[in-house]
Amino acid sequence: MTDLDKVGYKLAQEKKSVKTLFILAAALLIVASVPSFAQNSARDEGGRVLGLETAWNHAIEAKDTKALDMILASTFVAVELTAASLTKASFLPASRLRSTNLRKR
């Protein structure tokens, strides 16, 4: 092996180590950024749930069946304390007749 071959081999090895280092740095950057996306997603979902709960409470208090119709899924089923179940279609008219005993916190 000549001196030129030795230099070429050494340069090839250095390129491989730089490439490996670069790949590891990119992987670390990706892994480090994933929790940030997850936190933002969880925060957004939590805010959405809180907003829906607030809208639900206002609609129940105001007996606003149009708002309830927009909030509730078509597959909604309410289970009463008496174990009676109501579909969305039967819950909406019944919600106008109910007394609201929601406590303010």
Would you kindly state where each structural domain of the chain is located, as residue ranges? 3-97
pLDDT at 105: 46
Cα first-last separation, the chain:
84
Q: Among the residues of the chain, which ranges form H helices?
A: 3-62, 65-71, 88-97
Mean pLDDT of 1-21: 65
Spatial CA neighbour of 78 closest among 87, 70, 69: 87
Decide: pTM greater than 0.85.
no
Mean pLDDT of 23-35: 71
- Per-residue tokens: 72: 């509730």
Choose between 19 and 1: higher pLDDT: 19
| Least reliable range by pLDDT among 33-37, 48-52, 89-93 | 33-37
Alpha carbon distance 46, 42 (integer Å): 6
pLDDT band for position 80 (cuts 50, 70, 90): confident
Alpha carbon distance 35, 15 (integer Å): 32
pLDDT at 88: 92
Per the CB < 8 A criterion, the answer to whether 87 and 97 are in contact is no
- Per-residue tokens: 4: 């030129």
